């Protein structure tokens, strides 16, 4: 086998079969990776489906890579619906000239992350485009999951008095990518938070009955996600800047790069709006989970039905938060 | 709104929300296109999932475009399992500078094709990459379908005496793309056969009990697909070249371009291995369907368990057919 991706690897013919048989399928513990596959759907519960394409640059970054990201992002989209992930598909777009060694590293990382999340990759597809027509590798993952009967997470369910919680320190993914892209290194190193959140969500759903909505604040960061919820739920939300966990290194790098950590992407952090009466006990329970060690209450849902988000700043003032405008950090995921 | 895709359209912030709200979602008849969605799964039957990324170049070609292709390809992958398609997801990777008008044309075409196939697009994702890092637009579609209880299509079920049938003229898609890409025009024009085959498959499953396996011979063409089945089913297959329907214009263009229509991609043709006793009546029934007008018996499964495919040529000779080697027609889908 050549050591690089050639156009023939996308032909549908012998070279593609060999690439799938010898490199991709073995990483997933299979003899082949089918175009389409049957899967088991448990009795009870409602099926949910999601998709995401990943175009992160560079494909390897501190704390993760595009393969880990592609599995976590899609698992997390399902988890935010309260769905237990059942299976994933993987669609690869490969650039002619990509090192097979790099592809192998990416698919191994996908397989390892899928194991960690307890989900199977069951079907896939491989396309190759001419050099200069993509950027090393793009991956799409779609996922199917099952939402337990009776569970309905939606911004429309948020109520005055509900609390806003986050599961971990914010902004780490975006800053790790930006640092890598700009050749900056920090001590201690800043690493992406990329992680599958489905286990943490299961724990949360066992602990609390009053979980209204869960979201993973990826592109656009915490601020954009809270604004979306406020608008969709027609409620005002007040966010306490001082309560939002941000690692000191991330805070410092944000200052250096002129970025606001509230708008920087996360890939292993969730935001929840929960019954105010349950918030503290839920946060305590989350502290027992490896991904919930910094969980904190960071805000409150108000009476006003205006969809505004007010930041109560560390300096003691207030300001309106809106969705991210323009593009702060391109190709972060 | 600008008339072109900008990096900000992939930000996760305000510009992306507007693009989805004002251009993508309306084409699909929705107010927004969610990251993830619930869908209904019928009682009985087994769920199946598939994925394909589409990187065809050019994105508009005679007889279709990348949007139509992205819906048909994934619907067809499900149909080839005998699955009724239930829902699709759509992941877009857009190149900075893409005309919004072109994007609109592509998503409208996806919506129209989904209606034709009777399937809904329920969830999506939009990424933007810098100019020169993809090629106008790449689309991934994943699909979920339901396979009727008791139906099991698999190459392992093929038997000596089974017949090989094709549903329509071969090679039209690949030749239409190659002609467009090379600035060749033909009279009458050569158009892609891109079409959703699920309706035809439903008709076939109603008509015949002895359908062993269905495949859509896309990349690699009819020859590669038959070889796959022969190997997976451990049977020899004899293909009658003179019985394979090929449009005269496609045959002529293949001669001109030095291509063998048996290795040229199809996007609206299926190949079936069926009980020999039912083949003729099934082909007759297929003639009543708009996509089955040229359906024909083109070959036979032999006694030998060697996985060979023998072509009985028009000239009266025989030759071994293998999978496509190298890359004949890059980026055909």
The string of pLDDT tens digits covering residues B5-58 is 999 999 888 999 999 999 999 999 898 899 999 999 998 899 999 999 999 999
Decide if A221 contacts A130 (C-beta within 8 A). Answer: no
CA distance B51 to chain A (A): 6
Candidates B91, B131, B215, B309: best to mutate against A (most CBs of A within 10 A) is: B91
Nearest to A41 among B10, B47, B142 (CB): B47
Phi, psi of B168 (to 5 degrees): -165, 180
Q: Which residues are CB-neighbours of B325 under 8 A, at least 6 positions away? A: A8, A13, A14, A15
In chain A, the residue whose alpha carbon lies closest to the alpha carbon of B329 is A11
Q: Residue A91: is its pLDDT beyond 90?
A: yes
Res A158 pLDDT > 90 = yes
pLDDT in tens, A206-217: 999 999 999 999
Lowest average pLDDT, out of A184-193, A270-279, B80-89, B145-154, goes to A184-193
Contact list in B for residue A15 (CB cut-off 8 A) is 325-327
Out of A37, A80, A142, the one facing B48 most closely (by C-beta) is: A37
Query: What average pLDDT score do residues A93-103 get?
Result: 98
Question: ipTM for the complex?
Answer: 0.96
Q: For Cα atoms A16, A21, A23, give the angle at the middle one, nearest 5 degrees.
A: 90
Chain-chain contact of B53 with A93 (C-beta, under 8 angstroms): yes
CB contact under 8 A, B12 and A133: no
**Closest Cβ opposite residue A49 in set B92, B128, B144:** B144
DSSP 8-state code for residue B190: P
Per-residue pLDDT band for B77 (boundaries 50, 70, 90) equals: very high
Contact list in B for residue A322 (CB cut-off 8 A) is 14
Pair of tokens at residue A44: 């009870």
Using CA atoms, how far apart are residues B170 and B259, in angstroms rounded to an integer? 12
pLDDT at B325: 87
Alpha carbon distance A25, A27 (integer Å): 5
**Contacting residues of A for B130, CB less than 8 Å apart:** 330-331
- Which tens digit of pLDDT belongs to each residue from B164-192? 999 999 999 999 999 999 888 888 899 99
- Rounded CA-CA distance A306/B246 in Å is 63
- Which tens digit of pLDDT belongs to each residue from B239-289? 999 999 999 999 999 998 899 999 999 999 999 999 999 999 999 999 999
Q: Residue A84: pLDDT band by 50, 70, 90 thresholds?
A: very high
CB A271 within 8 A of CB A164: yes
Average per-residue pLDDT for chain A: 96
Test the B interface: residue of A7, A36, A144 with most B CBs within 10 Å: A36
- Residue A106, pLDDT > 70, answer yes
pLDDT at B1 over 80: no
Percentage of chain B lying above the pLDDT 70 cut:
100
Q: What pTM did the predictor assign?
A: 0.97
Interchain contact, B53 vs A140, CB within 8 Å: yes
Min Cα distance A101 → chain B (Å) is 21
- Determine contact, residues A73/A141, Cβ cutoff 8 Å: yes
Looking at every residue in chain B, the average pLDDT score rounds to 96
Partners of residue A47 in chain B, C-beta under 8 Å:
38-41, 47, 144
> Is the pLDDT at A204 greater than 90, yes or no?
yes
**Pure H helices in chain B:** 14-19, 25-27, 66-79, 100-117, 172-181, 198-207, 221-233, 248-257, 276-286
Of the candidates B11, B35, B125, the beta carbon closest to that of A327 is on: B11
**Nearest CB partner across the interface for B324, out of A13, A46, A127:** A13
Q: What is the pLDDT of residues A215-228, one digit of tens each?
A: 999 999 999 999 99
Which residue of chain B comes nearest to A223, CA vs CA? B13
Nearest to B327 among A11, A38, A46 (CB): A11
pLDDT of residue A44: 86
The mean pLDDT of B106-119, rounded to a whole number, is 98
Q: Distance from B141 to chain A by nearest Cα, in Å?
A: 8
Interchain proximity B134–A132, CB inside 8 Å: no
Question: Taken in order B288, B292, B293, B294, is the CA torsion positive or negative?
Answer: negative
Contact B27, B19 (CB under 8 A): no
Q: Give the A:B interface size as CB pairs under 8 Å.
A: 245
What is the rounded distance in angstroms from the CA atom of residue B176 to the CA atom of residue B264? Answer: 10
Which residues of chain B make contact with A14, given a CB cutoff of 8 A? 322-325
**Cα gap A161→A300, rounded to integer Å:** 6
Q: Which residues of B154-187 are buried (b: 16+ CB within 10 A; e: fewer)?
A: ebeebeeebbbbbbbbbbbbbbbbbbbbeeeebe
pLDDT at residue A326, as a whole number: 78
């Amino acid at each position: 086998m050549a050591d690089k991706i050639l156009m023939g690897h996308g032909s549908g013919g012998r070279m593609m079969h060999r690439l799938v048989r010898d490199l991709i399928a073995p990483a997933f513990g299979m003899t082949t990776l089918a175009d389409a596959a049957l899967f088991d759907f448990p009795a009870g519960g409602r099926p949910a489906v999601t998709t995401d394409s990943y175009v992160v640059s560079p494909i390897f970054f501190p704390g993760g890579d595009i393969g880990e990201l592609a599995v976590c992002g899609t698992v997390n989209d399902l988890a935010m619906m309260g769905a237990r992930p059942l299976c994933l598909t993987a669609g690869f777009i490969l650039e002619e000239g990509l090192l097979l060694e790099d592809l192998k590293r990416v698919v191994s990382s996908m397989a390892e992350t899928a194991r960690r999340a307890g989900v199977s990759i069951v079907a896939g597809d491989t396309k190759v485009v001419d050099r200069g027509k993509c950027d090393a590798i793009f991956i799409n993952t779609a996922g199917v999951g099952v939402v337990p009967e009776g569970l309905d997470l939606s911004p429309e369910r948020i109520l005055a008095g509900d609390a806003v919680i986050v599961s971990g320190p914010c902004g780490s993914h975006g800053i790790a990518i930006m640092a890598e892209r700009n050749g900056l290194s920090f001590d201690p190193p800043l690493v992406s938070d990329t992680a599958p959140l489905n286990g943490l969500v299961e724990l949360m759903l066992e602990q609390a009955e009053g979980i209204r909505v869960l979201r993973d604040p990826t592109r656009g960061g915490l601020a954009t996600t809270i604004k979306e919820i406020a608008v969709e739920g027609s409620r005002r939300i007040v966010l306490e800047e001082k309560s939002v966990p941000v690692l000191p290194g991330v805070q410092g790098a944000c200052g250096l790069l002129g970025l606001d950590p509230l708008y920087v992407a996360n890939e292993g952090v969730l935001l929840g709006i929960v019954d105010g009466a349950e918030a503290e006990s839920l946060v305590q329970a989350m502290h027992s989970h490896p991904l919930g060690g910094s969980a904190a209450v960071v805000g409150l849902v108000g009476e006003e039905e205006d969809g505004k988000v007010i930041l109560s700043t560390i300096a003691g003032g207030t300001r309106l938060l809106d969705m991210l405008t323009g593009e702060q950090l391109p190709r972060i995921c």
